[in-house]
Structure 1
Amino acid sequence: MADTSSGSFGDWRHRASHFYLLLIFFSFPLFSVPCPKGLCSTPVEVVTVHLVSKGINDAIAKALLYPGALFTKLESIVAENEPISLPDWDTLLDNITASLKDKEQNDRTFGLGLIIGSYLCLAGAIACVLGPTPLSAFGPLLILWSIYYEGGDLKDCYALPMFSVAVFCALSGISLSAKVPRGTNHSATSGDSLSNDEKSKPSSSNKKTK
C-alpha cells in the first residue's frame, strides 16, 4: 500500500520550491538594503546593480529585470487600469544607470554577504525548476545573516514580511525524511532465511533409514 502522507509531503515541497522561484524572478520585495541605486529590495536588484557597476553587458542585466518589470506592469494594469502594454526594454536600466552616476548614491556599497547571498538566491531559484534542492536554502540564510549583521548600524537595512515566506519555501528543499527499512520486510526476510535453513537440513526419518 502506498504511503499517502509521504506523497503529499513531496507534492508540498515541489509547490514550495516553485513558489520560491516565482518570488525571486518576479522580484517580490523581500528586504530593504542600502545600495548604489539607493535602496534595493530583491536579490535580482542586488545582482543587477552589481553587474551594471562592473560593466557587464546590459542585455544580461535587462533579462534579469524583465520578469519583475512584467509583473509590476501587470499589477498596474489590473489595479490602476493602465493601458495594456509591455515594459519598455530600452528603459529598464535607466533608473540604475542614473543612480550609479550620482556620486552620493554610488558611495553606498553592498556587503559581501548580501552580494553572495543574492547570487545564490538566483542559482537556487534556477535549480528549483527541476524540483526541491538544498541549494535554495543557502541564499536566503546568507542574506538574513547579512541583514542581521549590518542592520544594527544601518536603519534602512531590514527584512520585509515576505522574506519569511521566501525562507520557508527555500527550506523546503532540505529533505528531512530518511529511508528506514520496514519491520515487516525484515521479518519476512528472516522468516524466508529460516525456512531455507530448515529445507537444507536432512530430515530425521532419512537418518533412520539404512
Structure 2
Amino acid sequence: MASKVRKWVTIVSFTASRIFFFFIFFQIPLFRFPCRIGTCMTPMELTSTQLLASEVIPSWVVTAVLYPGAIAKALFNDKPIPKYNAVLDTYKLKNLKQVPSVTYLQHIEVLAGSYLAIAGAMIGLYRSRRLGFIGMLLLIWGLSKEPHFNKRHESFKNHKNAIDVYYPTMSITVLSAFLSIRNDVKNIVSCFKWTFSKSKYK
C-alpha cells in the first residue's frame, strides 16, 4: 500500500512540475501588467525587460530563454515562426531605455514573484521545491495590491495601464506549482488515506 502511495505522489508531482514549466517557459498569458515594452502578460516577458534594460545578463541568454515561447505563440496564432536572431525585435526588447529604479520598487512583489516563478519552474524539473509556488503567490499578491487592479469597466480594461489576471490560466499555474511539491502532495495523499481508512472501519 505504501509503495502505491509513493507511486501516486511521484506521478502527481512529476506531472505538475512539467505543467508548471510549460506554462512559464512557453509563456502562456497569466496576467496583464504595464512594463517597458507596453504590456507584459507573462513572468518571462516581465523579467526579460528588466534584465535587458539593467544589462545584468547578456542578450543572447534572454533570446535563448524567450525563443520556445516565441515559437509557441507563432504556432498558436497561426503565424510564421520568428527567426532566432529576430526574437528580441519580436518582443520589442531592442534598445530599451533605462527606467529609474524607484519605479520598479513600487512593483517589487510582481518582479520578485516573476523571478521566483521562473527559477522554481527550472529547479522543479530536477528537484521538488516550494520556490515556484511562493513566486506565484507573491506575484498574485503584488498584482492584487496594485491600484489599477480589478477595474471591470470596458473603458478601463483597454487602458494601457490596466492590470488584470487571467484567472483560468493563473489558477492552473498556481495549482500545478503547488502539486509539484512532493512533500505537500504526500501529506495530502496520506490525509485522504487516513480519512478513507477511518470511514471504512466505522
- Give the TM-score, by structure 2 length: 0.73
How far residue 86 of structure 1 moved from its aligned partner, in angstroms, is 4.0
Determine the structure 1 residue equivalent to 2:140: 144
Query: Structure 2 CA distance, aligned partners of 1:58 and 1:98?
Result: 9
Partner of 2:52: 52
C-alpha distance in 1, partners of 2:26/2:94?
A: 23
Matches within 5 A, 1:4-15: 4-15=4-15
d(CA) in 1 for partners of 2:96 and 2:59? Answer: 14
Contact 1:24 / 1:43 at 8 angstroms: preserved in 2?
yes
What corresponds to 1:68 in structure 2? 69
Structure 1 residue runs of 5 or longer lacking an equivalent are 180-210
Equivalent position to 2:177, from 160, 170, 177: 170
Structure 1 position 16, deviation (Å): 0.7
Does the residue aligned with 1:33 lie in a helix, a strand or coil? strand
CA distance in 2, matches of 1:142, 1:125: 15
CA distance in 2, matches of 1:10, 1:140: 22
Q: How many residue pairs get matched?
A: 170
1:51 aligned counterpart, secondary structure: helix
Quote the offset at 1:96 in angstroms: 2.5
**Structure 1 stretches of at least 4 aligned residues deviating more than 6 Å after TM superposition:** none
Q: Is the 8 A contact 2:31 2:164 kept in 1?
A: yes
Deviations 1:89-132 (A, max 9, x none): 2221124236835x9xx68x541111111111111011111153
Q: How does 1:108-187 map to 2 (within 5 A)?
A: 109-110=103-104, 111-150=107-146, 152-154=147-149, 155=151, 156-161=162-167, 162-174=169-181, 175-176=183-184, 177=186
1:202 match: none
User: What are structure 2's unaligned runs of at least 5 residues?
Assistant: 152-161, 191-202
1:31–1:157 Cα contact (<8 Å) kept = yes
Whether the 8 Å contact between 1:17 and 1:131 is mirrored in structure 2 is: no
Q: Given the superposition, is the C-alpha separation of residues 86 and 97 from structure 1 closer, same or farther in structure 2, using an over 3 Å criterion?
A: closer
- Alpha carbons of structure 1 residues 123 and 98: separation in structure 2 relative to 1, 3 Å: closer
The one-character-per-residue Cα deviations of 1:134-166 (angstroms, maximum 9, x if unpaired) are: 22211101101101111x335511211201110
Please give the TM-score of this superposition, normalised by the length of structure 1. Answer: 0.71
Computed over aligned residues only, the root mean square deviation of the Cα atoms, in angstroms, reads: 2.7
Does 2:25 correspond to 1:25? yes
Matches of 1:98 and 1:120, distance apart in 2: 25
Residue identity matched to 2:23 = L
Give the letter for the 1:167 counterpart: V
Q: Which amino acid aligns with 2:61?
A: I
Corresponding residue for residue 42 of structure 1? 42
- Percent identity over the alignment? 30
Task: Pick the structure with greater CA Rg.
Answer: 1
Aligned to 1:187: none
